[in-house]
Amino acid sequence: MKVSLFVTCLIDLFYTNAGKATVELLERLGCEVDFPEAQTCCGQPAYNSGYVKEAKEAMKQMMRAFAHADYVVTPSGSCAAMVKEYPHLFHGDPEWEEEAKRLAAKTYELTQFLVDVLKVEDVGASLHGRATYHTSCHMTRLLGVKEAPLCLLKNVKGLELVPLPNAHQCCGFGGTFSVKMGPISEQMVDEKIGHIEEVDADYLIGADCGCLMNIGGRIERLGKPIRVMHIAEVLNQRK
């Protein structure tokens, strides 16, 4: 199966290991991975800030970049949810509406793709330790992917998965919210870290680098002994 990777700007520039793990994981599961070089960003930073025109230019670039893809897979629930919004945003635009629908229909978040399309629940990964999973808001509420990541993590050998208290609550990232409303965002992430500590987790696993950058950045600042990992990295661990 040929899969086109939409790696997201955060992974392209900062969290390259999550991108590498995604490629290796998909290849191990028999996919041929292609990386369309023309991709940039899904447009969300501009869209969520109210810069719709600017966002739409980025979105058009996305549609051009993935025009020939069969499946578009992305290791981010939030970016996948943004792409799923394209048909709504380009509704009534004769040039782009159909393209937007096509891209939205063939775009999958990584764990959703593994479970729903590849029908794999055990990827043969192993990682030793106690972990908890952060359900990012856009992935669960906007994209509706709730079970797939947990299903995959439950089958990771050696990993003790414990539920995160108040898991439904936002970590305080929210894109530009984290800088515009810094003091509020800080309180939110501190509450999240409090819950992670409550369950005594060695690992905090997530499927969105935005949330992980926020939670991880705060954990680092506070010097907490919690390792933050993208789910692709966990699923790509072999021992």
Partner 1 sequence: MPMKIENGPFWKRVEENLQNDFMREAVAGMQDRGYVRRLGVIEELGHWEEWRSLAEQIRKHTLENLDYYLMQLSENVAKRGGHVFFAQTAEEANDYIRRVALEKQAKKIVKSKSMVTEEINLNPVLEAIGCQVVETDLGEYILQIDDHDPPSHIVGPALHKNKEQIRDVFQRKLGYTKSSDPVELARHAREMLRRDYLTADIGITGCNFAIAESGSITLVTNEGNADLVTALPKTQITVMGMERIVPTFEEMEVLVSMLTRSAVGQKLTSYITVLTGPRDEGDADGPEEFHLVIVDNGRSSILGTEFQPILQCIRCAACVNVCPVYRHIGGHSYGSIYSGPIGAVLSPLLGGYDDYKELPYASSLCAACTEACPVKIPLHELLIKHRQIIVEREGKAPVAEKLAMKAFRLGTASSPLYRFGTKFAPSAFAPFVEDGRITKGPGPLKAWTESREFPAPSKERFRDWFRDRQKGGNPL
Report the interface residues with partner 1, using CB under 8 A: 7, 9, 11-16, 19-20, 23-24, 27-28, 35, 37-41, 43, 45-54, 57-58, 60-61, 65, 137-138, 141-142, 166, 168-170, 172-189, 191, 213-214, 216-218, 220-221
**Which helix H or strand E contains 78, and what residues bound it?**
helix 77-89
Shortest reach from residue 21's CB to partner 1, in Å = 11
- Closer residue to partner 1 in complex, CB, 1/167: 167
Angle between helices 52-65 and 77-89 in degrees, nearest 10: 100
- Closer residue to partner 1 in complex, CB, 130/194: 194
- Closer residue to partner 1 in complex, CB, 75/149: 75
92: region left, alpha or beta (phi > 0 left; psi from -120 to 50 alpha):
left
Q: 103: Cβ–Cβ under 8 A, 6 or more apart, which residues?
A: 62, 63, 66, 72, 83, 86
DSSP secondary structure code for residue 115 in this structure: I
DSSP secondary structure code for residue 164 in this structure: P
- Closer residue to partner 1 in complex, CB, 82/160: 82
Q: Do residues 83 and 43 touch, judged by C-beta distance below 8 A?
A: no
Shortest reach from residue 160's CB to partner 1, in Å = 26
Shortest reach from residue 73's CB to partner 1, in Å = 14
Q: 37: Cβ–Cβ under 8 A, 6 or more apart, which residues?
A: 65
Shortest reach from residue 10's CB to partner 1, in Å = 9
- Closer residue to partner 1 in complex, CB, 160/226: 226
Percentages (nearest 5) of helix, strand, coil residues in the chain: 50, 15, 35
Shortest reach from residue 142's CB to partner 1, in Å = 6
